[in-house]
Amino acid sequence: MFAVIKTGGKQYRVAANDLLKIEKVEAKVGDIVEIGNVLAHGEGENVTFGAPFVDGAMVTAEVVEQGKNRTVIAFKKRRRQNSRRKIGHRQLLTTVRISEILLGGAKPAKKAAAKPEAKAEVAAEAKAETAPKEAKAKKEAKAEVAAKEEPKAEAKAAPLFKAPKGEPDDLTVIKGIGPVAAKDLAEQGIVTFAQLAKLTDKDVAKIDEHMPFSADQIKDWREQAKELAKK
């Protein structure tokens, strides 16, 4: 006999003793969980469909492992907009072994795991007892981290280059440099066409590492700055 179940927004065709990876279920390894959303069941060509679920049907499964899926990376970059975004997601998964397919309101042979709500209440009571101590420890830890990071913040504030004396140039004349990019460059000491024109490949790599600009962008700006510096 097989059944089609729905869990975690997905549908699976299962039979007894099948191993299945589904979205995380709050249970420990060895616990029996109940999946009541049975869309269909049958054997061979004799299939019963629900509307949407079959009344009185249920599938029980034993939790074999709690784990994670592979990491999925989403990277988005807007060309010449100084915008980069990288997001990683790793889905939590539960591996289960299908134990029984029950019909007509039949009871499972093994008892299902306790509901997450009951576990949450016990955990909340335990947490309430230790909350004051944890809050104090966290506060002390934050103060210690802040004290260590203060020198780093000061070091980070130093500009990458030394700005020359005199009037700065309007860097927004260069194609690809907008007001925001010009401000970022000025904060790092780059304020003239001559500075951009004289950037070495080492300087380009330094800017690429510490600022939201790619090496190709900076090299393009350097070539434009060489022409503007001649005027």
Is residue 34 within 8 Å of residue 60, measured between CB atoms?
yes
Amino acid identity of residue 160, one-letter, is L
Residue 141 has a pLDDT of 78
Residue 59 has a pLDDT of 93
Strand 32-35 and strand 58-68: the pairing is antiparallel
Residue 132 has a pLDDT of 66
Burial 175-201 (b: 16+ CB within 10 A, else e): ebbeeebbebbeebebbbbebbbebee
Residue 139 has a pLDDT of 73
pLDDT tens, N- to C-terminus, the chain (231 residues): 899 999 988 999 999 999 999 999 898 999 999 898 999 999 888 999 998 899 999 999 999 999 998 899 998 888 888 888 888 888 999 999 999 999 888 888 877 665 555 556 656 766 666 666 677 777 777 777 766 655 544 445 688 888 888 889 898 989 989 899 899 999 988 999 988 888 999 998 888 888 888 889 899 989 998 888 887
**Structure tokens that stand for 210 in this block:** 């510490």
Assigned architecture for domain 171-230: Orthogonal Bundle (1.10)
* Rg, Å, the chain Cα set: 31
Classify burial at 109, counting beta carbons within 10 Å of its beta carbon; exposed 0-12, middle 13-18, buried 19 or more: exposed
Amino acid identity of residue 91, one-letter, is Q
Strand 92-102 and strand 58-68: the pairing is antiparallel
For the chain, the domains span 2-114, 171-230
**Structure tokens that stand for 130 in this block:** 């230790």
CA dihedral sign of residues 159, 164, 170, 175? negative
Amino acid identity of residue 121, one-letter, is E
Alpha helices per DSSP H over the chain: 116-157, 179-187, 193-197, 201-210, 215-230
